[in-house]
């Protein structure tokens, strides 16, 4: 195959490819957290759930040879963590943020403990769809080789956006998130709704972890997460609890994260590592630009403890 | 499903309703008859048992003894679900709407048997058909949080009708409404009862609205019925006597004359600040309040009074202009408030002037907890001194609290207001800024709080009073300003004040 050099055009292309690759875990974690927070709870433990999900997925994939079974097992383990969080938080005077932090450490710790034997063996990767086959440039092909989880995440974002408006379950989650009293007056038990919302949210976060160990970077080790679970919580606030916003924010964040490697690939050697900080700087700038001292956060669920 | 207009009003009756909480009898043999299609007012002071009675009727409490009849048949109501199955519904004093949902979403999610996936085209058509039978329009597609208080209250009532209720309990429905909104909402409810669509039992302690809208009334005092009858056949005084019994009502001090050369205490010049939306600005050109006078500011809520007050209280940034207290620039810092003797009684005191979870004693010592008796800062805070200080004020201002160490949020609205009043009116007061001090309080509390404000004025304080209650302003003020669209548009001394002219300026015809 003939190689064409795209020159500087390689940078935006690499950013696009990188955005899709890097953003997938953010999409799943932030969508999961959006569901949980819309129901009025914060689960900061998603970082731990993500790491445990990565380990579970990898281990099951190694043992069974099927990456999809790994994803399934990861989401089941995530749901267990979510149920645990939701169950503890239903007791009075329990703070969801504190429990979340404890869960974050517990999840990572358990993952390292059970994951030790799986650092060496290699697991089958999740499949990707090569949308770039039409081109004879290897860079285009690399960028457009899109993994299936990304597509599922995109579809999920659209579905959740629709579901929050058009389904009974979506409206009930919003009611519970806005006012526990209003929910009780309607005969809804807020704790049950929050329990389920936390479980579903954690299951999604664990799928984000499965993506890390089974696709990109595609191996299991203790440093597999670089804080995606925590950053995703910030993304949800930045996206104003809107699933489509979460998707866009995750892509933006992924794209900014791909800036460093992309510049490096075209031969920028001076200070490129500064660009590795781009996503964090970007988040800070957007947060500052979109916030105001005189206005409350629009769209924030009423019973969320950070907005009280 | 949308059978709110097909079902006809039902009559409801309680017989010998008694409710005991331990040794305390909250309701004592209360019999109440509300015939179908009538508008019945339930009167009584705070703590008279009105809420307990309706909670028993709606199934929130299980009455110790007594029966309930609906359409003359005896019914057992063990839970709110039973009540709604019989078509009994309640509109609470505090809104139960979900703020972030739209009106349409609120209505649809509250009804029974919502399908798993909501077909909005069908629901919208149903809602439109239902709303055609209502005498007013409501915006259905905006979040409830953006509605005005009057619209929210109407939506609460519409929701009950949408759910097919034929007997409604309204718990002080006008306490969060402006006079205009109250007229409109009650007029609508009245029309519904006249048409025989619904029966209404309204808890209230406002005589004008009871006189204007209700057919019959029942008065409760200390859990007992002290009077009942046709509204038309009883005048206000008789009803008030049934409500408060023979306890004395605080009367206003006579007004000491304002001295001609009284010095201005508060001066506001060319003040500019953004309003809540950030889209408009409020502008106060020139306002001064002199020692020994009460200056009232009238206006319909949402015309910038709240923002003006927030600027004075230091809760809101100002863009330009100056605020002087006794000639010194005032930026609402604690030190300035202490040296210039500025005191502040904001509306919703629990939110704006208290730390709800701190104790009554702590809240009452916010002004001076870190000072010794001579006004010097202390290094160690003495809990005993704070308690002794608070105990004195609780006694003097008749604050009803279980203990000085209870969190202040456990007090009733009137007692929170008394506690704040006690804190703000103790010591030297040169400037007192007050906003809606009697919002949602009962008869005797209102009289007492107004008397205290008048007392402070007569002692030489300059008082700036903002209120949405025109009667209150006319009763207390020496001069009245009208605020409209973020500016002071009209000024009148009390002697020349006419409700007509003030009302016109409030409505923006100037």
- The 10s digit of each residue's pLDDT in B217-253 is 999 988 899 999 999 998 888 888 888 776 666 677 7
- Quickly count: other Cβ atoms within 10 Å of residue B226's Cβ: 18
Give a yes or no: residue B323 inside a domain: yes
Q: Report whether B243 contacts B205 (CB < 8 A).
A: yes
Look at residues B332, B318, B321, B341 and name the one whose alpha carbon lies nearest to residue B431: B341
What distance in Å separates residue A235's CA from the closest CA in chain B?
20
- How buried is B365 (Cβ within 10 angstroms: 0-12 exposed, 13-18 middle, 19+ buried)? buried
Residues in CB range of B483: below 8 A, 6 or more apart:
B297, B298, B299, B303, B304, B305, B308, B489
CB contact under 8 A, A179 and B98: yes
Which residues in chain B have their CB less than 8 angstroms from residue A299's CB?
100
CA–CA separation, B474 vs B49, rounded Å? 32
What distance in Å separates residue B229's CA from the closest CA in chain A?
33
Radius of gyration of chain A (CA): 20
Two tokens at B28? 């004592």
pLDDT of residue B192: 87
Identify whether residues B412 and B300 lie together within a single domain.
yes
Identify which of B81, B100, B114 has the shortest CB distance to residue A174: B100
Mean pLDDT of B309-336: 90
**Helix residue ranges, H only, B111-235:** 120-132, 149-162, 179-194, 207-213
* pLDDT at B78 > cutoff 70: yes
Give a yes or no: residue B258 inside a domain: no
Chain A residues with a Cβ under 8 Å from any Cβ in chain B: 165-169, 171-172, 174-175, 177-179, 181-182, 185-187, 292-295, 299, 301-302
* pLDDT at A72 > cutoff 60: yes
* pLDDT at B509 > cutoff 70: no
Mean pLDDT of A237-251: 91
Identify whether residues B331 and B199 lie together within a single domain.
no
CB contact under 8 A, B98 and A174: yes
**Per-residue model confidence as pLDDT tens digits over B357-374:** 999 999 999 988 888 878
* pLDDT at B89 > cutoff 60: yes
Q: Which helix (H) or strand (E) holds B509?
A: none
Identify whether residues B424 and B461 lie together within a single domain.
yes
Give a yes or no: residue A87 inside a domain: yes
Q: Report whether B153 contacts B181 (CB < 8 A).
A: yes
Give a yes or no: residue A187 inside a domain: yes
- Long-range contacts at B325-330 (CB < 8 A, ≥ 24 apart): B325/B265, B325/B266, B325/B267, B325/B430, B325/B431, B326/B263, B326/B265, B326/B430, B327/B267
Instruction: Give percent above pLDDT 90 in chain A.
Output: 52
Which residues in chain B have their CB less than 8 angstroms from residue A188's CB?
none
The upper half-sphere exposure of residue B19, i.e. CA atoms within 13 Å in the direction of its Cβ, equals 25
Identify whether residues B185 and B56 lie together within a single domain.
yes
Give a yes or no: residue A129 inside a domain: yes
Residue B502 banded pLDDT, cuts 50, 70, 90: confident
Identify which of A187, A295, A301 has the shortest CB distance to residue B81: A187
CB contact under 8 A, B116 and A186: no
Q: Which domain holds residue B502?
A: 264-506
Mean residue pLDDT across chain B: 86
The bridge status of strand B281-290 relative to strand B294-298 is: unpaired
Instruction: Specify the range with the lowest mean pLDDT, choosing from A153-157, A179-183, A282-286, B2-6.
Output: B2-6
- The DSSP call for residue B194 is H
Q: Taking CA atoms, what residue in A is nearest to B144?
A: A178
pLDDT of residue B446: 84
Identify whether residues B109 and B204 lie together within a single domain.
yes
CB contact under 8 A, A168 and B115: yes
Q: Report whether A119 contacts A105 (CB < 8 A).
A: no
Two tokens at B341? 């003797």
* pLDDT at B135 > cutoff 90: no
Identify whether residues B238 and B289 lie together within a single domain.
no
Q: Taking CA atoms, what residue in B is nearest to A179?
A: B98
Which residues in chain B have their CB less than 8 angstroms from residue A171's CB?
101, 105, 108-109, 114, 118
Provide the whole-model pTM.
0.76
Give a yes or no: residue B5 inside a domain: no
Give a yes or no: residue B492 inside a domain: yes
CA–CA separation, A37 vs A31, rounded Å? 10
* pLDDT at B113 > cutoff 50: yes
**Per-residue model confidence as pLDDT tens digits over B177-196:** 766 777 888 998 898 899 88
Which residues in chain A have their CB less than 8 angstroms from residue B274's CB?
294
Domain holding B368: CATH number? 3.40.50.300
Residue A1 banded pLDDT, cuts 50, 70, 90: very low
Identify whether residues B268 and B220 lie together within a single domain.
no
**Per-residue model confidence as pLDDT tens digits over A103-124:** 999 999 999 999 999 988 888 8
> Among all chains, which residue has been given the structure tokens 């005589």?
B207
- The DSSP call for residue B315 is S
Per the model's pLDDT, the better-predicted residue between B121 and A136 turns out to be B121
Give a yes or no: residue B426 inside a domain: yes
Dihedral sign from CA coordinates of A53, A59, A64, A67: positive
- Helical pair A46-64 and A228-238, crossing angle rounded to 10 deg: 130
Identify whether residues B271 and B240 lie together within a single domain.
no
State the total domains in chain A. 1
Domain boundary among B186, B212, B244: B244
pLDDT of residue B1: 38
Q: Which helix (H) or strand (E) holds B429?
A: none
Identify whether residues B186 and B53 lie together within a single domain.
yes
State the total domains in chain B. 2
Residues in CB range of A237: below 8 A, 6 or more apart:
A297, A306
Identify which of B96, B117, B274 has the shortest CB distance to residue A167: B117
Domain boundary among B191, B211, B244: B244
What distance in Å separates residue A304's CA from the closest CA in chain B?
13
Give a yes or no: residue B250 inside a domain: no
Mean pLDDT of B286-301: 89
Give a yes or no: residue A4 inside a domain: no
Identify which of B80, B81, B100 has the shortest CB distance to residue A299: B100
Identify whether residues B337 and B473 lie together within a single domain.
yes
Chain B residues with a Cβ under 8 Å from any Cβ in chain A: 80-81, 96-101, 105, 108-110, 114-118, 120, 274, 278, 316-317
Identify whether residues B232 and B273 lie together within a single domain.
no
Which residues in chain A have their CB less than 8 angstroms from residue B97's CB?
182
Give a yes or no: residue B292 inside a domain: yes
* pLDDT at B67 > cutoff 50: yes
Give, in order, the Cα–Cα distances in Å from B252 to each of B77, B247, B497: 46, 16, 20
CA–CA separation, B345 vs B449, rounded Å? 11
CB contact under 8 A, A171 and B105: yes
Residue A305 banded pLDDT, cuts 50, 70, 90: low
Identify which of B80, B96, B109 has the shortest CB distance to residue A172: B109
* pLDDT at A308 > cutoff 70: no
Two tokens at A41? 């709870």
Give a yes or no: residue B438 inside a domain: yes
Helix (H, G, I), strand (E, B) or coil at B217: strand
Radius of gyration of chain B (CA): 25
What distance in Å separates residue B275's CA from the closest CA in chain A?
9
What distance in Å separates residue B121's CA from the closest CA in chain A?
11
Residue A86, Cα to own-chain centre: how many angstroms? 19
Give a yes or no: residue A41 inside a domain: yes
* pLDDT at A54 > cutoff 80: yes
What distance in Å separates residue B509's CA from the closest CA in chain A?
31
Q: Which domain holds residue A151?
A: 27-233
Identify whether residues B416 and B495 lie together within a single domain.
yes
């Amino acid at each position: 195959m003939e190689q064409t050099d795209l020159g500087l055009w390689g940078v935006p292309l690499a950013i696009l490819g990188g955005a899709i690759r890097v953003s997938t875990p953010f999409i799943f974690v932030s969508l999961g957290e959006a569901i949980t927070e819309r129901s009025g709870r914060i689960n900061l433990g998603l970082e731990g759930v993500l790491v445990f999900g990565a380990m579970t997925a990898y281990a099951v994939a190694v043992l069974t040879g099927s990456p999809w079974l790994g994803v399934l097992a990861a989401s089941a383990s995530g749901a267990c963590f979510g149920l645990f969080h939701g169950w503890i938080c239903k007791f009075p005077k329990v703070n969801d943020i504190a429990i979340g932090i404890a869960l974050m450490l517990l999840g990572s710790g358990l993952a390292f403990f059970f994951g030790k034997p799986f650092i060496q063996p290699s697991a089958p990767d999740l499949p990707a769809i090569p949308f770039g086959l039409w081109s004879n440039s290897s860079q285009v092909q690399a960028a457009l080789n899109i993994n299936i989880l990304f597509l599922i995440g995109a579809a999920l974002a659209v579905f959740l956006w629709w579901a929050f408006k058009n389904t009974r379950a979506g409206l009930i989650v919003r009611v519970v998130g806005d006012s526990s009293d209003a929910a009780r007056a309607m005969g809804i038990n807020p704790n049950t709704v929050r329990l389920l919302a936390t479980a579903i949210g954690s299951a999604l976060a664990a799928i984000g972890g499965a993506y890390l160990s089974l696709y990109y970077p595609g191996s299991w080790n203790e440093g597999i997460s670089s804080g995606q679970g925590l950053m995703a919580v910030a993304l949800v606030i930045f996206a104003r609890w809107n699933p489509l916003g979460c998707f866009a924010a995750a892509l933006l964040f992924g794209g900014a994260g791909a800036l460093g490697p992309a510049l490096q690939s075209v031969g920028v050697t001076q200070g490129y590592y500064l660009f590795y900080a781009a996503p964090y700087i970007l988040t800070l700038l957007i947060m500052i630009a979109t916030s105001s001292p005189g206005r409350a956060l629009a769209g924030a669920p009423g019973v969320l403890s950070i907005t009280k | 499903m949308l059978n709110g207009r097909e079902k006809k009003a039902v009559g409801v009756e309680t017989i010998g309703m008694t409710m005991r909480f331990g040794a305390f009898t909250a309701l004592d043999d209360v019999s109440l008859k509300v015939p179908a299609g009538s508008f019945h007012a339930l009167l009584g002071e705070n703590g008279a048992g009105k809420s307990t009675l309706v909670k028993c009727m709606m199934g929130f409490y299980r009455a110790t003894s007594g029966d309930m009849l609906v359409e003359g048949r005896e019914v057992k109501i063990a839970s709110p679900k039973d009540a709604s199955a019989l078509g009994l519904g309640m509109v609470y004093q505090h809104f139960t709407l979900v703020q972030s949902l739209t009106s349409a979403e609120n209505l649809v999610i509250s009804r029974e048997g919502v399908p798993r996936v909501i077909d909005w085209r069908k629901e919208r058509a149903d809602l439109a058909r239902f709303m055609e039978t209502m005498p007013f329009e409501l915006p259905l597609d905006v979040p409830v949080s953006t509605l005005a208080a009057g619209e929210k209250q109407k939506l609460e009532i519409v929701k009950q009708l949408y759910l097919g209720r034929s007997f409604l309990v309204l718990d002080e429905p006008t306490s969060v409404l402006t006079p205009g909104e109250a007229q409109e909402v009650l007029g609508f409810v009245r029309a519904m009862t006249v048409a025989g669509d619904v029966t209404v039992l309204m808890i209230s302690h406002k005589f004008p609205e009871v006189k204007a809208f209700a057919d019959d009334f029942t008065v409760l005092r200390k859990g007992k019925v002290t009077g009942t009858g046709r509204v038309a056949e009883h005048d206000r005084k008789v009803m008030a006597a049934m409500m408060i019994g023979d306890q004395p009502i605080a009367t206003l001090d006579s007004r000491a004359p304002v001295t001609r050369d009284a010095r201005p205490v508060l001066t506001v010049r060319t003040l500019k600040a953004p309003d809540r939306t950030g889209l408009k600005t409020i502008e106060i050109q020139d306002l001064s309040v002199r020692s020994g006078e009460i200056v009232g500011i009238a206006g319909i809520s949402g015309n910038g009074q709240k923002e003006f007050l927030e600027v004075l209280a230091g809760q809101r940034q100002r863009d330009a202009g100056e605020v002087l207290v006794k000639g010194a620039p005032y930026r609402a810092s604690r030190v300035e408030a202490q040296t210039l003797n500025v005191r502040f009684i904001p509306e919703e005191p629990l939110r704006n002037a208290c730390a709800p979870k701190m104790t009554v004693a702590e809240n009452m010592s916010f002004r001076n907890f870190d000072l010794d008796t001579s006004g010097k800062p202390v290094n160690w805070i003495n809990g005993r001194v704070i308690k002794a200080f608070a105990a004195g004020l609780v006694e003097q201002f008749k604050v009803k609290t279980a203990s000085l160490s209870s969190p202040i949020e456990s007090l009733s609205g009137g007692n929170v207001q008394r506690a704040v009043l006690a804190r703000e009116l103790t010591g030297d007061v040169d400037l007192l800024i007050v906003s809606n001090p009697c919002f949602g309080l009962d008869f005797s509390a209102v009289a007492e709080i107004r008397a205290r404000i008048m007392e402070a004025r007569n002692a030489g304080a300059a008082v700036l009073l903002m209120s949405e209650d025109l009667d209150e302003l006319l009763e207390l003020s020496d001069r009245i300003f009208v605020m409209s669209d973020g500016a002071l548009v009209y000024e009148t001394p009390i002697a020349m004040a006419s409700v007509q002219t003030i009302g016109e300026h409030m409505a923006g015809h100037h």
